[in-house]
Chains A and B, each alone.
Chain A
Amino acid sequence: DGGITQSPKYLFRKEGQNVTLSCEQNLNHDAMYWYRQDPGQGLRLIYYSQIVNDFQKGDIAEGYSVSREKKESFPLTVTSAQKNPTAFYLCASSSDRGNNSPLHFGNGTRLTVT
């Protein structure tokens, strides 16, 4: 079955350490996205990529970095510069073929930094 795989489901890190969240899709989608979800805040866009080797900052990109070396993969690195990294992170993709293409989401990664 096609889908989006995020790993791991839970991730724990010490403050000051960088951590990378994995996102892989086998839907052959061109566009991929990273969202952050905090209680009462909805989903906020961190980074997005429309094509391999290209990506753009979203609304809250500070303290994060991404790469898009392969169409299937869009890893997110949470750096030590991110002041409040503890959150639920969702990766998504879309076919980009139509304007009403919905986003397909992974199951998310819960990151806890202490």
Chain B
Amino acid sequence: AQTVTQSQPEMSVQEAETVTLSCTYDTSESDYYLFWYKQPPSRQMILVIRQEAYKQQNATENRFSVNFQKAAKSFSLKISDSQLGDAAMYFCAYRSDRYSGGGADGLTFGKGTHLIIQP
């Protein structure tokens, strides 16, 4: 079974600064997908960014980018120019490749990192 580890229960950053949230995972599979979700105080789960393991290029979505290191099984999220609205819980998630027999059971989540934005 796959596991996802987020080693930072809480992070704090000054508004407009850059912050990086860490995520590592354990898997024996070669094909899989990785996601970052944001959960603000409303508790709505919002997809931030996704990465296919077969792609070497790191995914980017506006101020959000990832550093995907497949050999190290690391998938960190970088938030640039942090804004007050970025304050939330951030969850890293893993999904197996369904054509390899996995993926049908949804995502495996880490325990989350609480991001605080200081004005």
Contact = CB atoms under 8 A, between A and B. Distances in A.
Interface of A: 31, 33, 35, 40-45, 48, 50, 56, 58, 88, 90, 92, 94, 96, 99-100, 102-103, 105, 107-108
Given A35-B106, A43-B91, 9 more contacts: A45-B105, A45-B108, A92-B45, A99-B97, A100-B52, A102-B35, A102-B50, A103-B47, A105-B44
Interface residues of B, number: 26
Interface in B41-97: 42-45, 47, 50, 52, 91, 95, 97
Interface of chain A, main secondary structure: strand
Nearest to B97: A99
A42 B91 contact: yes
Interface of B: 9, 31, 33, 35, 42-45, 47, 50, 52, 91, 95, 97-99, 103-112
